[in-house]
Chain A
Amino acid sequence: MAVAAKKASQASTNAKSADSPRIGHKSVGSWTHQQDMAAYREMLLIRRFEERAGQLYGMGLIGGFCHLYIGQEAVVTGTRMMLKPGDQVITGYRDHGHMLACGMDPKGVMAELTGRSGGYSRGKGGSMHMFSIEKGFFGGHGIVGAQISLGTGLAFANKYRGNDNLCVASCGDGAANQGQVYESFNMAELWKLPIIYVIENNRYAMGTAVSRASAQKDFSRRGISFDIPGEQVDGMDVRAVKDAVERAAQWCRGGNGPIILEMQTYRYRGHSMSDPAKYRSKDEVQKMRDEHDPIEMVKTRLLANKVANEDDLKKIDAEVRAVVTEAAEFAQTSPEPDPSELWTDVYA
């Protein structure tokens, strides 16, 4: 399967001209009802969490920048399914979904958003800077593209130690135009580092559409000059994400070096909370919600296959809401960091 990834990629690459975007990979591989149930709960948690974060932001309880993941839930959920203990995940600033998918405690994440002592960084990092080494989550980085070099270093450490772990380094379509991304691609392929570069193409870098910023709009081809294989994946379908990551992980763990997965996805909310949303129509967002919503697709499938009925799903919904409510309460009741925290953690 792993070899097929490269071959398939090369074949499709050869068959396409540079300006005709390929259709996202629709293969869903093996997929069980249990995985549908798990994905439903996970994606719902991320969505409800983010909705609540948006609400707390509106109430002035979360400050600064806050980038919501709503719409993109399938990407992290499907990815996480194929990782194993010791694998590392690193991403940019649209990171809450990644943290929840890594199994980080929603209370600790939400309390970090509100800048409280119960947050993962004890209130000193905020939305864009959270970490959990225990869960293999290495941030949470606010500089566009920086996490790609850092993630390449995490993968380097795996190779240096001779273990079987890989790193998933994610960035958006905007970050994919940063120079250091290509510096990292070059070194990763040169040294055959075990890393999956996930480019979450949500179509807009802040307010700039991919077509207005990217000469090569097929991000799976961004590694061609380094001989890194790539695939476009339907990032709204959690099954396709999981399937692509499964093959990519085999590729990496097989010592073949890096691979690029372009996850074709969409964010429903603005870039951050202060997005004027002048760059796209409401119709475009609504159409995506109606036709491609990652959670609705799973829900429909669960009902159609009679894996769950409406009541079962309502029950999950209620459980998820309870988790989020508890997180939001914790985030408001956890005390602010002690003033002495100002001076801690500057030096180890």
Chain B
Amino acid sequence: MATNILMPALSPTMEQGKLAKWLKKEGDRVKSGDVIAEIETDKATMEVEAVDEGVLGKILIEAGAENVLVNTPIAVLIGEGESAGDVQVAAPASAPPPAAASAAPIAAPAIMPAMASAEHEPAMDAASDDGRPWSWDKAQPWAWMAAGAETSDITMREALRDAMAEEMRRDELVFVMGEEVAEYQGAYKITQGLLQEFGERRVIDTPITEHGFAGLGAGAAMAGLKPVIEFMTFNFAMQAIDQIINSSAKTLYMSGGQVKNPIVFRGPNGAAARVAAQHSQDFTPWYSNVPGLKVVAPSNAADAKGLLKAAIRDPNPVVFLENEILYGVSGPVPKNDDFVEPIGKARLHRAGKDVTLIAWSIGMTYASKAAAELEKLGIDAEILDLRTIRPMDTGAILSSVRKTGRCVVIEEGWQQSGVGAEVVSRIVEHAFDFLDAPVLRVSGKDVPMPYAANLEKLALPTIAEIVQAVRAITYR
């Protein structure tokens, strides 16, 4: 009985990978547990072990093949007495799981399970899949782009790594510390290669000790070093939040300006995919609440690089909130080693006249896709990428809303006391007379993140909800 061996998923967010190498050849006998192949993503290299016993009857995907989708048959295992010549390639196990099959036509990008993969990560909006994680349609160029800077297309993962590496080359006081940042090369491969370049003095694996190493980092910063503290995810930073707030954020003030805390706390924040309530929380509003902290949440590779470099150079503690879903997304980044983006400045992503969509981090993927949908309805949306949550670029928010008179704020986290609530409040306080309709929020639902694929999809904001909100306030 022939069995298909399928391309495995290495992580909750993996959708495709490279079949790097076959370690068995056709005709080889394999036992369960034997390593038969190696596969790679941009994040990791993993060995594929045989689950069943038999003979490797036929290799379907040759070594070196790139972009092999998860669940694609890569080989056929045959039983005793069968010969490779008898093998009929079994039908690809391509049926997506029930949740994806029954998904609403407009699906949120963050939540497609790995097995229901589209071609690029993150999984695409089924209704308007243009093969990209978001729409750059009508995108406004960055200043450096308009100025003709030389760029290369790199992922946000690479951009973050390059930012740290460049700053470490520039300033001996900068070091990176966290769980699995050195030998493992980063749990999400953000610190790939740093140990090799900078050595174990400056790229430091910690024990699983968030509270302790956050405090150690804050203390080292008090002594004048410039730590970059990686949290494997910000969910774990709750163990350390006392040191971030009570020590890092407040010491300058409590010391009458004597003791600075030049430190960056960074790592992925918010929902990844299918990792459920304890690993899927958006902490942006928590840190946004605290004077003394700066809070950055980039949506793309260029901003990630420019803002992380700015954060490392900043004399204040910066909470730098990344997003796992966005790590693999590529974008143009200037090649200049001195490229920094200013903290505290929003970026006009798309100019429009009918409504302002305000988002940041992964919220930008929803906003940009929603704008494309809205255009089909004849609604011209402007999109503002906040980029920095604290200090918040109130001026940019107000000038856009004063122009359009309408606004929807998009936030993956919970609505109550969220960043969206703050944005709405500033608009109402300072631009009330310019509003033609209530300002609405499209947010994560007020529940802990469920595990089930269909429920997770329901818990996150959707493009349909944004379109609906815009239609409600434009009366169309």
Residues of A within 8 A of B (CB): 88, 90, 119-125, 129-133, 138-143, 146, 148-154, 156-158, 160, 179-180, 183-184, 186-187, 190, 344-348
CA distance A186 to B209 in the complex (A): 9
Find out whether the CB atom of A183 lies under 8 angstroms from the CB atom of B219.
no
Contact with A along B233-264 (1 / 0, CB 8 A): 00000000011001100011111111110100
A183: nearest residue on chain B (CB-CB)?
Answer: B212
Q: Which of B116-124, B221-229, B296-304 contacts A (4 or more CB under 8 A)?
A: B221-229
CA distance A149 to B209 in the complex (A): 11
Residues of A within 8 A of B212 (CB): 149, 152, 180, 183-184, 186-187
Find out whether the CB atom of B213 lies under 8 angstroms from the CB atom of A124.
no
**B418 CB–A CB distance under 8 Å:** no
Report A118 CB to chain B, min CB distance, Å. Answer: 11
CA distance A88 to B219 in the complex (A): 11
Query: Which residue of the partner chain, among A120, A129, A149, A345, contacts B219 with CB atoms under 8 Å?
Result: A149
Query: Which residue of the partner chain, among B206, B223, B257, contacts A157 with CB atoms under 8 Å?
Result: B223
Find out whether the CB atom of A124 lies under 8 angstroms from the CB atom of B256.
yes
**B64 CB–A CB distance under 8 Å:** no
Beyond A149-B219, A160-B220, whether A346 also contacts B253 by CB under 8 A is yes
Query: Which residue of the partner chain, among A125, A141, A153, A347, contacts B221 with CB atoms under 8 Å?
Result: A153
A348: nearest residue on chain B (CB-CB)?
Answer: B315
20 A–B pairs (Cβ distance < 8 Å), ordered by A: A120-B258, A121-B254, A121-B255, A122-B257, A123-B256, A129-B255, A131-B254, A131-B255, A140-B254, A143-B246, A143-B247, A150-B218, A150-B247, A154-B220, A156-B225, A183-B209, A183-B212, A184-B216, A187-B207, A347-B294
A143: nearest residue on chain B (CB-CB)?
Answer: B246
Residues of B within 8 A of A152 (CB): 212, 215-216, 219
Beyond A125-B255, A149-B215, whether A157 also contacts B260 by CB under 8 A is no
Residues 181-226 (chain B) with a chain A CB within 8 angstroms: 201, 206-207, 209, 211-225
Report A342 CB to chain B, min CB distance, Å. Answer: 10
Beyond A345-B256, A346-B292, A348-B316, whether A149 also contacts B243 by CB under 8 A is yes
Query: Which residue of the partner chain, among B206, B243, B260, B315, contacts A187 with CB atoms under 8 Å?
Result: B206
**B97 CB–A CB distance under 8 Å:** no
Residues of B within 8 A of A125 (CB): 254-256
**B291 CB–A CB distance under 8 Å:** yes
**B175 CB–A CB distance under 8 Å:** yes
A143-B247, A154-B223, A157-B220 provided; 14 other pairs, C-beta below 8 A? A122-B256, A130-B255, A131-B251, A132-B258, A138-B219, A146-B243, A150-B243, A152-B216, A153-B222, A156-B216, A156-B219, A157-B223, A346-B291, A348-B262
Report A180 CB to chain B, min CB distance, Å. Answer: 4
Task: Choose among B209, B219, B253 the residue with the greatest number of A CB atoms under 10 Å from its CB.
Answer: B219
Residues of A within 8 A of B294 (CB): 347
Residues of A within 8 A of B247 (CB): 141, 143, 146, 150
Residues of A within 8 A of B214 (CB): 149
Find out whether the CB atom of B292 lies under 8 angstroms from the CB atom of A153.
no
Find out whether the CB atom of B215 lies under 8 angstroms from the CB atom of A139.
no
Query: Which residue of the partner chain, among A150, A160, A344, contacts B215 with CB atoms under 8 Å?
Result: A150
Find out whether the CB atom of A345 lies under 8 angstroms from the CB atom of B257.
yes
Chain A contact surface mostly: mixed
Report B273 CB to chain A, min CB distance, Å. Answer: 30
Residues of B within 8 A of A143 (CB): 242, 246-247
B209: nearest residue on chain A (CB-CB)?
Answer: A183
Report B341 CB to chain A, min CB distance, Å. Answer: 18
Query: Which residue of the partner chain, among B215, B242, B258, B316, contacts A153 with CB atoms under 8 Å?
Result: B215
CA distance A121 to B251 in the complex (A): 10
Residues of B within 8 A of A346 (CB): 252-253, 291-292
Find out whether the CB atom of B259 lies under 8 angstroms from the CB atom of A138.
yes
- 7 tightest CB-CB pairs across the interface, nearest first? A153-B219, A149-B215, A183-B212, A157-B223, A150-B219, A121-B256, A122-B256
Find out whether the CB atom of B291 lies under 8 angstroms from the CB atom of A121.
no
Report A341 CB to chain B, min CB distance, Å. Answer: 8
Residues of B within 8 A of A133 (CB): 258-259
A138: nearest residue on chain B (CB-CB)?
Answer: B222
Report B232 CB to chain A, min CB distance, Å. Answer: 15
Beyond A146-B247, A348-B260, whether A129 also contacts B211 by CB under 8 A is no
Find out whether the CB atom of B211 lies under 8 angstroms from the CB atom of A183.
yes
Task: Choose among A150, A153, A158 the residue with the greatest number of B CB atoms under 10 Å from its CB.
Answer: A153
B242: nearest residue on chain A (CB-CB)?
Answer: A143
CA distance A124 to B206 in the complex (A): 34
CA distance A152 to B225 in the complex (A): 13
CA distance A120 to B257 in the complex (A): 10
Residues of B within 8 A of A132 (CB): 258
Beyond A151-B219, A154-B219, whether A183 also contacts B257 by CB under 8 A is no
A191: nearest residue on chain B (CB-CB)?
Answer: B204
Residues of B within 8 A of A142 (CB): 246
CA distance A246 to B275 in the complex (A): 52
Find out whether the CB atom of B255 lies under 8 angstroms from the CB atom of A139.
yes
Find out whether the CB atom of A157 lies under 8 angstroms from the CB atom of B256.
no
Residues of B within 8 A of A124 (CB): 253-254, 256
B260: nearest residue on chain A (CB-CB)?
Answer: A348
CA distance A187 to B258 in the complex (A): 27
Report B154 CB to chain A, min CB distance, Å. Answer: 30
Residues of A within 8 A of B316 (CB): 347-348
CA distance A124 to B201 in the complex (A): 36
CA distance A183 to B212 in the complex (A): 5
B223: nearest residue on chain A (CB-CB)?
Answer: A157
CA distance A180 to B201 in the complex (A): 23
Residues of A within 8 A of B254 (CB): 121, 124-125, 129, 131, 139-140
Report A188 CB to chain B, min CB distance, Å. Answer: 9
Find out whether the CB atom of A160 lies under 8 angstroms from the CB atom of B201.
yes
Query: Which residue of the partner chain, among A140, A146, A151, A347, contacts B252 with CB atoms under 8 Å?
Result: A347
Report B242 CB to chain A, min CB distance, Å. Answer: 6
Find out whether the CB atom of A146 lies under 8 angstroms from the CB atom of B242.
yes
Report B193 CB to chain A, min CB distance, Å. Answer: 21
Find out whether the CB atom of B201 lies under 8 angstroms from the CB atom of A146.
no
Residues 90-109 (chain B) with a chain A CB within 8 angstroms: none
Find out whether the CB atom of B259 lies under 8 angstroms from the CB atom of A131.
yes
Beyond A149-B214, A160-B225, whether A139 also contacts B291 by CB under 8 A is no
A151: nearest residue on chain B (CB-CB)?
Answer: B219
CA distance A150 to B216 in the complex (A): 5
CA distance A143 to B244 in the complex (A): 12
